[in-house]
Structure 1
Amino acid sequence: MLAINPVTAVTRILPGSGTCTGDSSSALGKRQHSANMPGRKNHLGATLLPAPLRRRRRAEPGLAGPRAEARRRQRCRPCPVPPCRRSLSMAADRDGRGGSGRTCFVLGASGATGRVLLRELLSRRLFARVTLIGRRRLSLGEEDSGVAEQAVVDFERLGQHAAAFQGHDVGFCCLGTTRARAGADGFVRVDRDYVAQAAELARAGGCKHFVLESSRGANQHSRFLYLRVKGEVENLVQAVGFDRCTILRPAVLLCKRQESRPMEWVVQQFLGAVAWIFPTAYSVPVETVARAMVASVLQPGKGKVEVLENGAIHQLGKAVPQQGT
């Protein structure tokens, strides 16, 4: 009968000792023995530490060096909140009204951008009072009637309605028409003369920040009537001397018009498809423009006059969360 010595038959590995007992010719013994051997070098010539010490250093971030600790702190750092998001939440909580007593007026609230802008202002309760200045009264819900006021004016005699522009901190202007709808003379009168006169009345009434919706390519020297008028009104509004003036130059507006514009509908359908590939290049949704107008009021300005091109409008509009998010 063959006698087996249990001491030599069973391989015992002493953890942390750097040596192994038993049958060191086994594969397990060789791996453990080589791994725990102090002073062993790797292929780069660096001295390896015993396995238990290596495991301990990996488990303790403080022992991994200053660079690893800095990376760990960077990963744990909380994400910063955009300034307009902070201002939005602070304004919504202030005095339970969201405006801390500030007031604003809106020109062109019946248009494509103006309707969305009005919805943003009323739903977020950013101002204690919102005055709609236009040729006719708009239908509003009962819950909005306590915040919104309406002033019906005759734009041909706008100087007689100076009281409607008194006492506002911010003015939003989305006023505009088309040459096809009003003719060349009517277009110039609405998009340039009405807007410039309203800006002068607003400045005289105490308005400090004027936000104007213009158009991409606005240039007073353009040979195209639309772009030339937009460039002229930009210069006229800047010359009024507001403490702060923000001009937005959106590209083609993606929206649903109340009136029928067949050619514009075709262009919108084409650019809507292009926007999937180049979202900020040729078009912008009116919702993004409206949120960018709101965000321009909430965040600090970068100068007395700030011009936002289409890409900046997209970026600023995304900084303000959509309703329900």
Structure 2
Amino acid sequence: MNFTALIIGATGLTGTILRSQLLEDASYDKVVTLSRKQIQNTHPKHVNHLADLFDPITYMEYLKGDHLYICTGTTQAKTPDKKEYYRIEHDLPLEVATVAKANGVHKIIVVSAIGADPDSKFSYNRGKGEMERDLEALGFKENYFVQPSLIGGKRDEKRHFESLWKKIQKLIDPLFFGSLKKYRTIEPETIASAMIYMAVHGYEKSRIESDELIEVGSRSSLSQ
């Protein structure tokens, strides 16, 4: 059986790479993306719909398929207003997933973050943890939350502090070993490969931290 993939956040760093990998994956017949601006991609399996993800009326009829990939997110520098930040990080994926569940989608694969915990004293980790908790409560047949550490790769938008930190992180990555390996930089290609593997083959855990994502991602390349 071949699947239909649904992606929100398909224009971000990880989402763009995920979209490309899905289009080349023989397990999928169709890849549907929902975005505010037109995605220029002429691949025969790709279908793009313009939608306001905060308004279900604009995408309800299009959000039908097998696997929903959620790659949305922002930064506090880009969205300093705390209410708007939470709305993007928590409310948006929850609203989209609620519609997907009603439309018969049975599996979600979500980009979260390492340290996600609804009881965390840190607002970023707490918000990610609340998102995971509330998405899980929707009752999908399967849900997977990938929890990467710092994501490598180059973004189209300028994030000066993040770019500087990535350079520093690359230097100190070798110092993280044993239980600290999960804090090493992870590439978006690896995250995308791991997400696809879990969607297609299933996985024994619903929350997968960065170091384990690398191992799962390698399974994906071996299975192709």
Same fold (TM over 0.5): yes
> How far off its partner does 1:156 sit?
2.8
- Residue number in structure 1 paired with 2:207: 307
Aligned residues: 218
Identify the residue that residue 104 of structure 1 maps to in structure 2.
5
User: 2: CA distance between counterparts of 1:259 and 1:170?
Assistant: 28
Deviation at 1:185, TM superposition (A): 2.1
Partner of 2:55, secondary structure, is helix
Q: Is the 8 A contact 2:34 2:59 kept in 1?
A: no
Q: Quick one: distance in 1 between partners of 2:57 and 2:111?
A: 22
- 2:134 — aligned with what? 236
Match of residue 151 from structure 1: 49
1:113-262 equivalent positions in 2, closer than 5 A = 113-140=14-41, 142=42, 144=43, 146-166=44-64, 168-183=65-80, 184-262=82-160
Quick one: distance in 1 between partners of 2:161 and 2:58?
38
Deviation (angstroms), 1:276: 4.3
CA-to-partner distance for each residue in 1:36-89, whole Å, 9 max, x for gaps? xxxxxxxxxxxxxxxxxxxxxxxxxxxxxxxxxxxxxxxxxxxxxxxxxxxxxx
Distance 1:210 1:264 in 2: 28
Give the deviation of 1:199 after TM superposition.
0.7
Determine helix, strand or coil for the equivalent of 1:256: coil
Structure 1 unaligned segments of length 5 or more: list them.
1-99
Question: Shift of the alpha carbon at 1:101?
Answer: 3.8
Which one is further off, 153-162 or 290-299?
153-162
Return the offset for 1:102.
Answer: 1.7
2: CA distance, partners of 1:188 / 1:300: 30
Name segments (4+ residues, structure 1) moved above 4 Å.
Answer: none
Return the index of the structure with the highest Cα Rg: 1
Give, in whole Å, the separation in 2 of the partners of 1:300 and 1:196: 22
1:150 and 1:131 map into 2 onto residues whose CA distance is: 6
Is 1:321 paired with 2:221? yes
For 1:195 and 1:262, how far apart are their aligned partners in 2? 27
Q: Any conservation in 1 of the 2:147–2:207 contact (CA below 8 Å)?
A: yes
SS in 2 for 1:311: helix
Q: In the alignment, residue 144 of structure 2 is paired with which amino acid?
A: T
CA displacement, residues 161-215 of structure 1 (integer Å, 9 cap, x when unaligned): 211212x111101011111112222211111000000111111111111001100
Q: Contact 1:179–1:186 at 8 Å: present in 2 too?
A: no
The one-letter code matched in structure 2 to 1:219 is D
2:194 aligns to what? 292
Structure possessing the higher relative contact order (Cα contacts under 8 Å, 6 or more residues apart): 2
Cα distance in structure 2, aligned partners of 1:193 and 1:159: 16
State the identity %.
Answer: 24
Structure 2 counterpart of 1:175, one-letter code: T
Paired residues of 2:110 and 2:146 also in contact (CA < 8 A): yes
TM-score, normalised with respect to structure 2 = 0.91
The residue type paired with residue 186 of structure 2 is V
Q: Which runs of 5+ in 2 are unaligned?
A: none
User: How far does residue 278 in structure 1 lie from its aligned partner after superposition?
Assistant: 3.9
CA RMSD across the alignment: 1.8
AA aligned to 1:127 is Y
Distance 1:222 1:159 in 2: 34
**What is the CA-CA distance between 1:148 and the residue it aligns to?**
0.6
Task: Give the TM-score taking structure 1 as reference length.
Answer: 0.64
Letter in 2 for 1:321: S
2:161 match: 263
Q: Match for 1:110: what amino acid?
A: T
CA contact (8 A) 2:182 2:209 kept: no
